[in-house]
A and B are shown apart, each in its own frame.
Chain A
Amino acid sequence: MHAIEVDHVFRIYQKYSARHRFQTFKSALVKGDLFRALRPDELVTALDDVTLSVEKGQTFGVIGENGSGKSTLLKLIAGIAKPTKGEVRTQGKISALIELGAGFHPEITGRENIFINGIMLGLTKKEISAKFDDIVAFAELEEFIDAPVKTYSSGMYMRLGFAIAINVNPEILLIDEVLAVGDAAFVPRCLDRIDDFRRRKKTILFVSHDLTTVKKICDRVAWLKSGRVQMIGEPKRIVDAYLQDVAERQERSFERRQQEPAAAPDGQEERRENRWGKREIEITRVSLKNARGQERRVFTPEDSLVVEMDVVAHTPADDFVFGIGLFNSQGICCYGTNTQLEDYEAVSIQGEGKVVCRIETLSLVNGTYYLDVAIHKRDGYPYDYHRNLYSLLVSSTHKDVGIGRLAHGWSFSPGIGIKPPQG
């Protein structure tokens, strides 16, 4: 039994050119092309032959980059937009959490807004009255419910929006990235409610960038890529494939960035914020490899990371230090070292050479990391400093958190009943 069926759906957006933007009614009348002005100049395909079906009671995730058509798909299923071609069939009442609190009127009270918003979402007055206390309690707004909504904080606003939408009690719940804005205390409660929905065998369509949550709560996942369904299937497999794809694209854009400086004239190069130094000794190429010597951008914490630098000393030098630094996405240095700190003594360098730094076990938690590489003098004078120019992704099934993944193990005294993980 399918709750949602999307059958060869195309959605083509009309894009009006810049000329049209400044089109006025007067000029359209003067030129006599009123009807032509109402026709779009350019078409943008947001969904390109999308077919998928969601079974009743299933939690279905949709992932993909920004602009891949996820939200468009959701809007089509919600019925807010219509497919240009193809058909969307749904069974049962739908509630869409696309934007929480859309349609709240700032001047009137929370109480009045609950009624109006509830009615917009398809509840009757009676139903809202019955659920009113639940909604207020869930949103934790007992004290403020008779204050105008304009006095609410954005968190209160969101909580109220979520509380109403979740209480519509739909057969199908569409969730679009709304949890991204919640505070730390509220999001788990939202997830609880969503879990509750799953237990009651309701259908959920979940659009998110939060891949961990997607893996955790979804039964199936579809990956959209520029309007097309790239893959559908078991969450872990799809999420991994998606991450791989993201990493590959990062790799490609990284390569493009690599080639850019060569093409740019010297003067401009210096201004690049993420690379500086006079380049008496230059790093011409950096490659990240795994233990088997294959170039990679995605690693597991157990992998080795081999950083290879091709260097050229344009003038002979005897004062040089090679260094690397690994930063996480918050800019925290996870690890940094150089040849000086490790008491290597520079003697001479001339012409081309290769420097390899081998990290036996990466031991980092999941996330994106940025690599700094540098050659500088002992006193810090930079020859060539590459800041955050290289990125790598650590991806694994581990869910642990922190900066580094410290090697560890658990043991328990016999009195404690605890089962080891399966598999």
Chain B
Amino acid sequence: MARIFRNLRELYRYRVLIQNLVARELKARYRGSVLGFLWSFFNPLLLMIVYTAVFGLIITPRDPDFESKPLVYALYLFCGILPWHWFASSTLESANVLMINGNLIKKILFPAEVLAVVTVTSNMIHFFFGLPIVLIFIPILGKTLTPYVLLLPVVVFVQYIFSLGFSLMISSLTVHFRDIKDILANWLTFWFFATPIVYPMTFSSIQKSAALRTILNLNPMTHIVQGYQYCLFYGSLFHWKRLGITLLASLALFIVGYLIFDRLRDSFPEEV
């Protein structure tokens, strides 16, 4: 534990580097593309259109929350997909990040966890780019923006800790087990549907089945995504107890992830 704190202090010394690497990541991502930064808006928007078409028009939503309006449902979807996208892409990218930056790890002295932090942070900033779309659409679709929006940073913080813990674990293990990347891609699809993103927890089929509810409640991403949905879509207070427990679980995951990372650290220069 003492080591983790020492490492974190060390990490803080590298904040300028992290800042610059994140900027580099964001700049490099769309460099050479015509729309550039606009892709950060378009990608989630296009995704939302697809889901709206499928789940809003083809399979019409029955839930009263959506007032049977496809666009309201699309807004609900968007509140979940945006943070999910942040989580999924930072997880997938972190599976590769140590290998891609192998020459840095081998040739330059700096703590490798910087790379995991950069991955999660740059994806978070992408997530931030998508947020204005939600904030604009809420009044347009006749929903009201409540002061609970101001609690968003709390949810973001919980997700950040959770994603970072997961990234640390995945990135260090993938160095030794390269197939984690492939397992992960499949696992994330499953995980996506095991999180109330395309459906709300209030669906009667979920409410009727205790087993289903338990499974969903054991998924930390459920509470994180619901946190966003409460702040943005429902405009009410999130289940702060559940989110608190999720935060504790996230911290635990972070510590475990960091311990694994630290344990494997010395093998990186040879294995990446």
Q: Taking beta carbons and an 8 Å cutoff, which residues of A are in contact with B?
A: 13-14, 16, 23-26, 28, 37-38, 75, 78-82, 94, 96, 98-99, 102-103, 105, 107-108, 112, 115-116, 119-121, 124-125, 148
Contacts and interface: CB of A to CB of B under 8 A. Distances in A.
Given A96-B109, A103-B108, A148-B31, A25 B16 contact: no
Given A80-B106, A99-B103, A108-B24, A25 B267 contact: no
Given A79-B109, A116-B20, A25 B269 contact: no
Nearest to B177: A25
A120 B180 contact: no
A107 B183 CA distance: 30
A120 B257 CA distance: 24
Contact of A28 (B104, B108, B109, B177): B177
Interface in B243-272: 264, 266-267, 269-271
A26 B177 CA distance: 9
A200 to B, nearest CB: 23
B24 A38 contact: no
B27 interface: yes
Contacts of A148: 31
16 contacts: A37-B176, A80-B108, A80-B109, A82-B266, A94-B109, A99-B107, A102-B104, A103-B108, A105-B28, A107-B28, A108-B24, A112-B24, A112-B27, A119-B16, A119-B20, A148-B31
B179 A25 contact: yes
B177 A23 contact: yes
Interface of B: 16-17, 20-21, 24, 27-28, 31-32, 101, 103-104, 106-110, 173, 176-180, 183, 264, 266-267, 269-271
Contact of A13 (B20, B27, B270): B270
Given A96-B109, A119-B16, 13 more contacts: A24-B177, A24-B179, A75-B269, A80-B106, A80-B108, A81-B266, A98-B108, A102-B106, A107-B28, A108-B31, A112-B24, A116-B24, A124-B16
A112 B180 CA distance: 33
Contacts, number: 79
Contact of B108 (A102, A107, A112): A102
A81 B269 contact: yes
Majority-rule SS of B interface residues: helix
A26 B176 CA distance: 12
B45 to A, nearest CB: 24
Contact of B110 (A82, A120, A124): A120
Nearest to B103: A102
A28 B183 CA distance: 13
Given A24-B179, A116-B21, A98 B173 contact: no
Contacts of A82: 266
Nearest to A121: B108
B112 to A, nearest CB: 11
A75 B20 CA distance: 25
A119 B108 CA distance: 11
A4 to B, nearest CB: 15
B156 to A, nearest CB: 26
B266 to A, nearest CB: 6
Contacts of B270: 13-14
Contacts of B31: 107-108, 148
Contacts of B267: 14
Contacts of B183: 25-26
Contacts of A105: 24, 28
A25 B180 CA distance: 6
B82 to A, nearest CB: 25
Nearest to B18: A119
Nearest to B264: A38
Contacts of A94: 109
A25 B24 contact: no
